Amino acid sequence: MKPDGGSLIGFGSSGLGGATFKAFDPARNAHLEPSFQSAAPEDVERAVQLAREAAPAWAKLPGTTRSSFLSAIAAKLEAKSADLVARAMLETGLPEARLKGEIVRTAGQLRLYGEAAARGDWLDARIETARPDRQPLPKPDHRSMLRAIGPVVVFGSSNFPFAYSVAGGDVASAFAAGCPVIVKAHPAHPGTGELVGRLILHAVRECGLPEGTFSLLFDAGFEVGQALVRHPAVKAVGFTGSVRGGRALADLAAARPEPIPVYAEMGSVNPVLILPGALAERAAGMVEGLYASALVGVGQFCTNPGLIVLQRSPAAEQFVKDLAARLAAAPEGVMLTPGIRHNFVSHTAARAHQPGVRVIAKAKATSSCGAAPVWFETGAKEFIGNHALSEEIFGPSSLVIWCDDRAEMLAVARELEGSLTATVHAGAAEAKEQGPLVDILAERAGRLILNGYPTGLEVSHAIVHGGPYPSTSDGGRSTAVGTRALNRWARLICYQSFAGDMLPPELQDANPLKLKRLVNGEWRTDPV
């Protein structure tokens, strides 16, 4: 399996020209073959029209068929894991073990969302049967559920070439919900994207699904993505990346004649608040835990712990000193792209010049795309009111915030902007007194963690990977990970006084799909 550089548009490919670009090997500082051709406006139009045509059939596909399709993709990813990992290693500089594990996780995610589609709980099917003799007016029969929203456009991430890209969480959940998907390939790993895209198309054909179920478009710049978000037939957008990129798409979508939702998972500083009791009980373990969490993936995780909040004390000072010593000796890692590395260098340089900010650890990086930890410290008084210190620096950099006392720590907590996660480390005795702190954090993050680390994300029914702005564009009303992710790609539909097979199977009396349904106020799985 080798990429050939053309967009995948329905079952065909494009030969229309457009600017070309090459993937880049950040570890070897060299461009990779082949050239990828940006999609032309006609390509965008054709991909969207095919998706539009496929959408009605897709919305009616049984959940079990969607599940089979997602399982087929998962099996193909696993079967071709070696080829995929080989190309992804070249394009991302990520290590083999990590990429292999990411494919396992991606396949598991595809299957879990397929199971959710087959089970159908997410549809929230509800039935109120007619009461023709009700006074003063008869009550009509109403049956309602979620229904696929239509063609979805997904912008994959730079940092997860499998789990949040062409066959990643947004794509898997949109398919599971019944939507055709058009992916705008991330230019950092176009070859990996093309290979995964071809596997998806094999699965489309194998499962007998319509052309237009899936397309993959390349672009050297922003035109293709903007054209997709503006297209009237596109009904929702998924995005994983920077605040700047996600907000630009959300603004574009909000300004359309018909606004559409953009689910952008964006910047997050993931504060970690460390209380005195935790330091007393397990400072050494926390040095190792925080070191590992902060450096996994060269700090290029959306849940990277970017702010560390402590009350000043000899124990806290020793803790930070030990952590800084570990960080200063950390080996350099290869960042995903020269652009990301450039931003890391310039943003850490700028932070070093912020008033009241000092460097506490700076490890050496010498290779062209290399990065090593650059950590800072500042005081609560300097942090509060200086928005620049709340901005995420993507990569292995975090900011330690020193508080004089508990009151100042609460003040820092109140200053925090929206994050995907917020973590509290507390000792056994003090944990139960953290109610007020936890309440503050609950207004500022989507996932609260006690005595753990923010990186490492379970894909499950209960997980939430979303949070208040700017960590997501929708203020944390939805999640990008877990089975609730399906809900993003649907709207409500209600049938009044329909019966028999004029109703979708999900709402028929006989309950042929054996769904859990709210019938006249009671949850039931039996026929009405």
Name residues contacting a copy of itself, limited to 209-238 (CB under 8 A): 235
Please state, in angstroms and rounded to a whole number, the distance separating the CA atoms of residues 20 and 86: 23
Tell whether residue 514 is a contact of a copy of itself (CB under 8 A). Answer: no
Beta strands in 275-330 (DSSP E): 307-311
In terms of CB distance, is 341 or 447 closer to a copy of itself? 447
What is the nearest approach in angstroms of a copy of itself to the Cβ of residue 134? 10
With left for phi above 0 and alpha for psi between -120 and 50, is residue 455 left, alpha or beta?
Answer: beta
In sequence order, what are the residues at sequence separation of 6 or more whose Cβ sits closer than 8 angstroms to the Cβ of residue 154? 168, 170, 171, 174, 181, 182, 183, 184, 237, 238, 239
Lookup: tokens for 221: 């710049």
Please state, in angstroms and rounded to a whole number, the distance separating the CA atoms of residues 200 and 196: 6
In sequence order, what are the residues at sequence separation of 6 or more whose Cβ sits closer than 8 angstroms to the Cβ of residue 83? 1, 195
Please state, in angstroms and rounded to a whole number, the distance separating the CA atoms of residues 24 and 251: 30
What is the bridge-based pairing of β-strands 236-240 and 214-217? unpaired
What is the nearest approach in angstroms of a copy of itself to the Cβ of residue 126? 4
In terms of CB distance, is 16 or 104 closer to a copy of itself? 104
Tell whether residue 260 is a contact of a copy of itself (CB under 8 A). Answer: yes
Tell whether residue 321 is a contact of a copy of itself (CB under 8 A). Answer: no
State which of positions 135-174 bind a copy of itself (CB under 8 A): 137, 139-140, 142-144, 147, 149-150
Cα–Cα distances (Å) from 35 to 11, 32, 47, 55, 352, in that order, read 21, 8, 21, 32, 39
What is the nearest approach in angstroms of a copy of itself to the Cβ of residue 469? 4
What is the nearest approach in angstroms of a copy of itself to the Cβ of residue 503? 10
Of 91, 102, 194, 302, the catalytic one is 302
Angle at 387 between CA 352 and CA 272, to 5 degrees: 80
Quickly count: other Cβ atoms within 10 Å of residue 141's Cβ: 18
In terms of CB distance, is 355 or 500 closer to a copy of itself? 500
Q: Is 302 a catalytic residue?
A: yes
What is the nearest approach in angstroms of a copy of itself to the Cβ of residue 486? 13
What is the nearest approach in angstroms of a copy of itself to the Cβ of residue 139? 6
State which of positions 329-368 bind a copy of itself (CB under 8 A): none
What is the nearest approach in angstroms of a copy of itself to the Cβ of residue 224? 23
Q: Which stretch binds a copy of itself (CB under 8 A): 212-220, 300-308, 408-416, 499-507?
A: 499-507
Please state, in angstroms and rounded to a whole number, the distance separating the CA atoms of residues 312 and 323: 15
What is the nearest approach in angstroms of a copy of itself to the Cβ of residue 345? 27
State which of positions 238-257 bind a copy of itself (CB under 8 A): 250-251, 254-255
In terms of CB distance, is 75 or 431 closer to a copy of itself? 431
Q: Within 13 Å and on the Cβ side, how many CA atoms surround 318?
A: 9
In terms of CB distance, is 198 or 517 closer to a copy of itself? 517
CA–chain centroid gap for 481, Å, is 6
What does the per-residue mask of binding to a copy of itself show for 412-451, with x meaning CB under 8 A?
A: ------x------------xx-xx--xx--xx--xxxxxx
Element holding 288 (H helix, E strand): helix 276-295
Tell whether residue 460 is a contact of a copy of itself (CB under 8 A). Answer: yes
Q: DSSP letters along 497-521, please?
A: S--GGGS-GGGSTT-TT---EEETT
State which of positions 58-97 bind a copy of itself (CB under 8 A): 59-60
State which of positions 109-128 bind a copy of itself (CB under 8 A): 121, 124, 126-128
Of 91, 102, 194, 265, the catalytic one is 265
Cα–Cα distances (Å) from 442 to 93, 247, 513, in that order, read 36, 23, 38
In terms of CB distance, is 46 or 126 closer to a copy of itself? 126
What is the nearest approach in angstroms of a copy of itself to the Cβ of residue 251? 7
In terms of CB distance, is 262 or 294 closer to a copy of itself? 262
Cα–Cα distances (Å) from 17 to 10, 43, 212, 222, 268, in that order, read 17, 10, 21, 16, 38
For a copy of itself, the binding residue among 208, 314, 385, 521 (CB under 8 A) is 521
State which of positions 463-492 bind a copy of itself (CB under 8 A): 463-464, 466, 468-470, 473-479, 484, 490-492
Q: Which stretch binds a copy of itself (CB under 8 A): 134-142, 163-171, 321-329, 340-348?
A: 134-142
Please state, in angstroms and rounded to a whole number, the distance separating the CA atoms of residues 258 and 255: 8
In terms of CB distance, is 347 or 465 closer to a copy of itself? 465
What does the per-residue mask of binding to a copy of itself show for 5-44, with x meaning CB under 8 A?
A: ----------------------------------------
Tell whether residue 49 is a contact of a copy of itself (CB under 8 A). Answer: no
In sequence order, what are the residues at sequence separation of 6 or more whose Cβ sits closer than 8 angstroms to the Cβ of residue 246? 239, 262, 264, 265, 266, 473
Q: Is 265 a catalytic residue?
A: yes
What is the nearest approach in angstroms of a copy of itself to the Cβ of residue 179? 12
What is the bridge-based pairing of β-strands 445-450 and 419-425? parallel
Helices 63-79, 169-177: crossing angle, 10 deg rounding: 150
# residues near a copy of itself by CB under 8 A: 78
Helix ranges (DSSP H) in 37-129? 41-60, 63-79, 81-92, 96-119
State which of positions 174-193 bind a copy of itself (CB under 8 A): none
The one-letter code for the residue type at 382 is E
- Which residues participate in catalysis according to the annotation? 265, 302
